[in-house]
Amino acid sequence: MSIQFGLDTFGDVTRGQDGELLSQAQTIRNVVAQAELAESIGIDFFGVGEHHRPDFAISAPEMVLAAIAARTDSIRLGTAVTVLSSDDPVRVYERFATLDAVSSGRAEIVVGRGSFVESFALFGHDLRDYEALFEEKLELLVELVKEQPVTWSGTMRPALDGADVFPKTENGMPIWVGVGGSPESVMRVARHGVGLMLAIIGGSAGRFAPFVELYHRSVASYGTQAHPIVVHSPGHVGETDDDAWDEAYPGFEAMHETIGRERGWPAYSRARFQNEVGPAGAVYSGSPERVAAKIADTIRTLGVGRFDLKYANGTLSHEAMMRSIELYGTEVIPRVKRLLADD
């Protein structure tokens, strides 16, 4: 199986050379430049997340992806993720089908329930409907991407009776669902016959092997279509281990401290960071050799079809991210391919 390699970002608001936080507008422009670099060095996929809070600049990911589409030719474009629970499936389909048109067929829909909940109140949804909203809206979106008139009814939005939506894509459009690791979520993905993206942001990749097995068993049981599994994990590449870790740690600390104050997490520490970049952790950071070995081990362990490195983490500077992207594309990926070829 041919393995693909991607990059994901949430558009984290970063610090400039003077140490001050950049504007959200400049952060978005930097994301477009990062995507241009990614294509120039052969990255297969570029994903941007949707958030509605001050530390992440991207609230309308399809707009950013359209800007990237205008400056690139081949890299596939998607989200990581679109918060489907607080959006409307018809509008999601229409926006992505439009993106697919302007990018000449490079759009992928990657949806999730959302690990942040600001969008629910913002768009008038009750958090008590968290599960029901996602289940119903995913069901409808799966029908819409078949690009045939849809008759559907549920409890979370008005029914559709023979509704046709436009524009149509030229060659169809894939859907992936981002999953944090619950069996129910994995089985839902299999039942709908769409792709599974495993968000591995804590612990070793090996602990997700049962979910991969469950996905394949469930696909066989439901008689739906199996798709290559995608893994999404954070990381940062430097010239050496120490370079990467010294660059990355302040951004990880800032991100965890900001979110931790809201969620009651304990204080972040360098010791915790070093544990996460080790074999038992979910952070892929270090020299190209170290990161390549860890990615190759994950691909072997889980049998995934694509690995997405979440390269933006906290306030890490644009310049450091650009160098990390360059090392990922020119040194890490070729090493991973050689390691897997040796197998």
Domain locations in the chain as residue ranges: 4-342
Q: Got the DSSP string for 175-214?
A: EEEEE-S-HHHHHHHHHHT-EEEEE--SS-GGGGHHHHHH
d(CA 51, CA 68): 18
- pTM of the predicted structure, to 2 decimals: 0.97
- The DSSP H or E segment spanning 5 is strand 4-9
CA 88 from chain centre, in angstroms, equals 20
CATH number for the segment(s) 4-342: 3.20.20.30
Output the CA torsion 73→81→293→227 (10° steps): -80
Write the pLDDT tens digit of every residue in 11-27. Answer: 999 999 899 999 999 99
Tokens standing for residue 45? 């996929």
d(CA 143, CA 137): 10
Q: What pLDDT score was predicted for residue 157?
A: 93
Q: What pLDDT score was predicted for residue 343?
A: 83
* Number of neighbours of residue 263 by Cβ within 10 angstroms: 7
- Give the residue ranges of the chain where pLDDT is below 50: none
Q: What pLDDT score was predicted for residue 1?
A: 60
d(CA 31, CA 19): 19
